[in-house]
Structure 1
Amino acid sequence: MGIADWIRIARGNLTPEELAEREDAARARRLRVAAKTEAERRDIRASNQAHARLKAAAAIGSVTLVCHADTLSFLGTRLYGKEGWPDHHELARRTQERPDNMRHVRLSGQQVVTILNLTARLAGIWKYPFYVHDTERAIGSRIYEIVGTVVDTVNPDAPAGNPVPPIIVDDRAAPTADELPE
């Protein structure tokens, strides 16, 4: 492009092709800005929901967590030493072993808040200062969804002493017809 083209463009004397090219570029910029804005809105909504869940969980007196021993180990190793999380001996006193290597653990609302806080960070809802491996992100996301769903059912206006449904981290495939007992 020479100096004559620069002058022509500066005066606004554009060819139809140049006008179409500029309009396409402007449209692409608007779409990028709109997509970024929508993603930011989604992040804000998720963050607000997470904060509301923390507040609701803090009011829980006690709840039972039902999960596999490996899931409890996943949580325990990441939460050990964190404010509100019981030490290994206290956690063992609160835990009942069940068949299939399942564990039933009595937790307080403070411990549910601690779990939600960790799993929200692993899930990417809140920025985490460290790299999160895909495996941790997947496990953290699923635990966050399950715990959050139970916390969402808590009614702050319900009378004291109403039971909170158990938090069950155990998605199993439905048995096929040939696996059902006869």
Structure 2
Amino acid sequence: MFGWGKPADDGAAERRILAAVAGLQEKTTEALREGFSELRRQNAELREELRELRRAVTDAHKDVAEHRRETETLRQELQTARREAAGILAEAGARAEAEARARSAAGARARGEAEAETAAAGEVQEEDSGGRAERGRDQDQGGSQDQGEGRDRHTVAEPGAASGRSAPGSAPARSPGAERPEAAGPGPDEDTQKQRLERAAGISAADLVCHRDTWAFIVEQAARNAHFRVPGEITAGKDGATRITVSGRSLMAILTALDAVERQDHRADPGDRALAGKIYERITDVVDTVGPGDGHGRRAAAGHAADETPQRAVIVIDDRPGPP
């Protein structure tokens, strides 16, 4: 009786085991399906984020390229503006130089007209003086003839008449040029001034030592000359003294301007004429001593090195008290 029940129990147990295994398989499969689904979803999200990053990088590249184009455009515009500014500055400099030359030419013409008028006035006064002197000589000759006739009639000779002396107390006759007016101001003649300008033109550079106020006066007078250039090398010293390196061309302009101030009439500022005369004298003291033989040519001919630099001319405007 018991043998018959055992197989039935074994079959039920086997069925239960198979059912449990089938349930486990189904759960495992479901869990795997859910895991794979989650992985697929995360993979899709990652791919979407990657696409977003790629789009952002592409946009960044586009922005960089746009910025580069804008930078290149700005650089070209800046270069164009610089060229235009350089052209404007050059044109302004040329215009200023032309105006300075025109003012210098106008001043030279005015000085020439003034000198011509002065010379004409001097010639008229000289002719008047010569006419008065000629009339005086004619009157003297007529008086001498009358006195000779009187001596012949009265046979009486005046003392000193035979020797040709004038009577005591008589005024001496003036020369034809005695009444010639003085010139408007002292100054070198045209030949001397021309030689000095030529010597100054041959100077490469010269050191001018003076007070800064004296240099300011020089700049005020010479700035109107077309040949004057503001020097780039100015060294300040003690007591307001300065050392300026000027070119020969600027020395020409300074000499011309100072000579013009010296030649002004008596109505001009006496201080300006005094300053111009003293500065002109100190400059010409040095300019008159230079020449092509005092520089590099003589030294090379004497056997010195060819690259030896000649001594630079130094002009000092600094009077000091002498020994007691």
What TM-score comes out, normalization by structure 1 length? 0.69
Query: What secondary structure is seen at the aligned counterpart in 1 of 2:207?
Result: strand
Report the equivalent of 2:296. 159
Q: Deviations over 1:7-56 (max 9, x none)?
A: xx579304869x948x9554x225728xx6xx89xx79643222211110
Structure with more helix by fraction: 2
Q: Deviations over 1:61-94 (max 9, x none)?
A: 00111110010010111222421222xxx44x32
Alignment of 1:89-128 (within 5 A): 90-91=230-231, 93-124=232-263, 128=264
Q: Which moved more, 1:165-174 or 1:155-164?
A: 155-164
Query: What secondary structure is seen at the aligned counterpart in 1 of 2:204?
Result: coil
Q: Deviations over 1:90-117 (max 9, x none)?
A: 44x3211111101111100011111111
Displacement after TM superposition at 1:165 (Å): 2.5
Displacement after TM superposition at 1:57 (Å): 0.5
- Among all aligned residue pairs of Structure 1 and Structure 2, give the percentage whose two residues are the same amino acid: 22
Report the equivalent of 2:274. 138
The answer to whether the Cα contact below 8 Å between 2:187 and 2:262 also exists between their aligned partners in 1 is no
Report the equivalent of 2:210. 67
Query: What secondary structure is seen at the aligned counterpart in 2 of 1:121?
Result: helix
Structure with the larger RCO, 1 or 2 (CA within 8 Å, 6+ apart): 1
Confirm or deny that 1:174 pairs with 2:322: yes
The answer to whether the Cα contact below 8 Å between 2:197 and 2:255 also exists between their aligned partners in 1 is yes
The answer to whether the Cα contact below 8 Å between 1:154 and 1:164 also exists between their aligned partners in 2 is no
Gaps of 5+ in 1: 1-5, 177-182
Question: How far, CA to CA, are the matches of 1:130 and 1:32 in structure 2?
Answer: 21
Question: How far, CA to CA, are the matches of 1:14 and 1:44 in structure 2?
Answer: 49
Question: How far, CA to CA, are the matches of 1:98 and 1:74 in structure 2?
Answer: 18
Query: What secondary structure is seen at the aligned counterpart in 2 of 1:166?
Result: strand
The answer to whether the Cα contact below 8 Å between 2:225 and 2:257 also exists between their aligned partners in 1 is no
Question: How far, CA to CA, are the matches of 2:322 and 2:171 in structure 1?
Answer: 51
Deviation >3 Å, runs of 4+: 14-17, 23-26, 43-47, 128-131
Question: How far, CA to CA, are the matches of 1:11 and 1:53 in structure 2?
Answer: 53
State the aligned residue count: 154
Query: What secondary structure is seen at the aligned counterpart in 1 of 2:209?
Result: strand
Gaps of 5+ in 2: 1-138, 149-157, 298-308
Structure label with greater radius of gyration:
2
Q: Indicate how the Cα distance of structure 1 residues 96 and 138 shifts in structure 2: closer, same or farther if over 3 A, else same.
A: same
Question: How far, CA to CA, are the matches of 1:165 and 1:137 in structure 2?
Answer: 25
Q: CA RMSD in A?
A: 3.5
Query: What secondary structure is seen at the aligned counterpart in 2 of 1:64?
Result: strand
Which residue identity is paired with 1:97? A
Query: What secondary structure is seen at the aligned counterpart in 1 of 2:178?
Result: helix
